[in-house]
Amino acid sequence: MQEMSVDKNLFKKFGKYVSLNMLGMLGVSCYILADTFFIANGVGAEGIAALNLVIPVIQILNGLGLMIGMGAATRFSLTRAVEPKEVVNARATVAFALSVLLSLVFVAIGLFFARPLSSFLGAEGDILDLAESYMRIITLFAPFFMLNFFIQCFVRNDRDPGLAMRGMVIGSLSNIVLDYIFIYPFGWGMEGAAIATVISPIVSLAVMSLHFTSGKNQFAFVNWTQLRQKLSSSRIREEMGTVMTLGLPTFFSELSLGIIVLVFNYLLLSVSGTVAVSAYAIITNLSIVVTALFNGLAQGAQPLISFAYGEGGLEESGEPRDVRRLFRYGIVSSLGMAVVMYTGIVVFREPIAALFNNENNAELTRIAVQGLVLYFAAYPFIGLNIFISNSLSAINKPVQAFVITLLRGILLVVPVTLVLAHYFGMTGIWLSAPVFEALTAVVAVAFWKNRHSRRNVLVKRG
């Protein structure tokens, strides 16, 4: 009876963390979908084609922000029970500084390389001007995006998932409202969409800053003198490496979509031109929303899995009992979500395509409808891969997690897509996603089944 009560409490906690984080991630991803909707109807097909061409850069920016945030927050959860608070805070401060430094690379891109990079990604003519203006504004405000992800991850891991969710949702809602205002009444076009987007993380940060004034926070940033008292120069460098290693699976999970978009854009431009890229933009942005839900599920479960792994009682296998239960909850939830969402996409594929096609382009509709049905067949495997990868990272097995994300983000994408495109044309391009995600899922399941190796000393010695 007592064990059933523990199971019920664990499931309730899982539901709370996961649902709040999924709502937050849904809000964050919906602002990208809102950009696509308002740009499609306010700028036209060229606007959404330009947006799709710069998405790989946006995904890299998001991926780096989440890499540092998730890596540092996972480290925080794994060691908070076994390390002095001052050392834990010093580590968080190192990760924060690393996030700021990486964001400055994107600021440099915005200042000097927005146009040549947009051209390299395939933008030409009027589309090049639209892509350049959007990319420049987004990258100049990169520090706010990266710090937003960092604070979001830490607030959630500091046992305040509700505030993290509210910050993300309020920030995203502000973006949607401002999208409408800037594109329609103000008539700012692509620049308006970009300005609305960069305001979103600023609003989100303002909301989540309440965590540090409420007295609930268990961590706080330290100044340089305190940092050097707790960590030597070599330990600071080591800490940066550890944070990035733990966060690499999350980074490549985000990067994978960027690489897929890049490869698909290239092939679709060669097969059917700009119209195909505009149709794919609909799929891409809907895909970002669906992927965000899977990431929300996985990242919401991460603090609980890390807590259980760092603090829980061990079974004979050497693994805390709650880790296995949390994993089972996550896998069932992920597969259930995938079935429901794919069914909805198949049933409503034509109305979905019509939402982003105010010019009533029949060719755009035909390509988008076919792509929605074939491409989204990958999502049962995508949900599985994302959850297993994040779970392995949460129990301090970043190498296995990294291999999973590397397979689905780089190693399998290019060869599978090129081969299927060569033999089956556009149909092969759409079907490549289910194929390389299914192949990755085979490896992911094998890694999880063989996870019972010696527990990593990182948890014990920090």
Residue 191: the pLDDT is 94
pLDDT of the residue at 316: 45
DSSP 452: -
Of 61, 138, 143, whose CA–CA distance to 97 is shortest?
143
Going residue by residue through the chain, which has 462 residues, state the pLDDT in tens, using 9 for 90 and above. 444 444 668 888 888 888 877 877 776 667 677 778 888 888 888 888 898 889 889 889 988 998 898 888 878 877 776 777 777 778 888 888 899 999 999 999 999 999 999 999 988 888 999 999 999 999 999 999 999 989 988 888 787 888 888 898 898 889 889 999 999 999 999 999 999 999 999 999 999 989 888 777 777 777 777 777 777 777 778 878 888 887 877 787 677 778 888 888 889 888 878 888 888 988 987 888 888 889 889 888 888 888 887 765 444 445 567 888 898 999 999 999 999 999 999 999 999 998 888 778 889 899 999 999 999 999 999 999 999 988 888 887 878 888 997 888 788 988 999 999 999 999 999 999 999 999 999 999 999 988 765 444 444 434
* pLDDT of amino acid 356: 86
Can you tell me whether residue 320 is helix, strand or coil?
Answer: strand
Residue 25: name the closest of 149, 208, 183 by CA.
149
Cα–Cα separations (whole angstroms), residue 35 to 174, 262, 283? 12, 19, 14
CB of 178 within 8 A of CB of 201? no
Give the residues across from 314 on adjacent strands. Answer: 320
> Token pair of 317, please?
């296998």
Phi, psi of 320 (to 5 degrees): -60, 140
In angstroms and rounded to an integer, the radius of gyration of the C-alpha atoms of the chain is 22
Residue 72's pLDDT is what? 85
Map residue 314 onto helix, strand or coil.
Answer: strand
Are 161 and 299 in contact by the 8 Å Cβ rule? The answer is: no
Which residue in 26, 32, 54, 44 sits closest to 361, CA to CA? 44
Per the CB < 8 A criterion, the answer to whether 118 and 131 are in contact is yes
Residue type, 250: T
Q: How far is CA 78 from CA 124, 351, 459, in A?
A: 48, 46, 6
DSSP string for 193-216: HHHHHHHHHHHHHHHHGGGGTSS-
User: Could you give the CA distance from residue 34 to residue 77 in angstroms, rounded to a whole number?
Assistant: 34
pLDDT at 321: 74
Phi, psi angles (nearest 5°) of residue 38: -70, -35
Residue 225: how many other CB atoms lie within 10 Å: 7
Residue found by looking up tokens 């948890």 in the block: 459
Q: Report CA-CA distances (Å) from 402 to 67, 186, 252.
A: 12, 45, 8
The span from the CA of 90 to the CA of 93, in Å, is: 5
pTM: 0.73
Of the candidates 154, 117, 159, 158, the one whose C-alpha atom is nearest the C-alpha of residue 138 is 117
Between the alpha carbon of residue 357 and those of residues 32, 92, 191, 360, 362, the distances in Å are: 17, 46, 21, 5, 9
Instruction: Retrieve residue 189's tokens.
Output: 């076009």
Distance CA 76, CA 85 (A): 10
Spatial CB neighbours of 146, under 8 Å, sequence gap ≥ 6: 61, 64, 65, 68, 99, 100, 102, 103
Taking the C-alpha atoms of residue 296 and residue 287, their distance in angstroms, rounded to an integer, is: 14
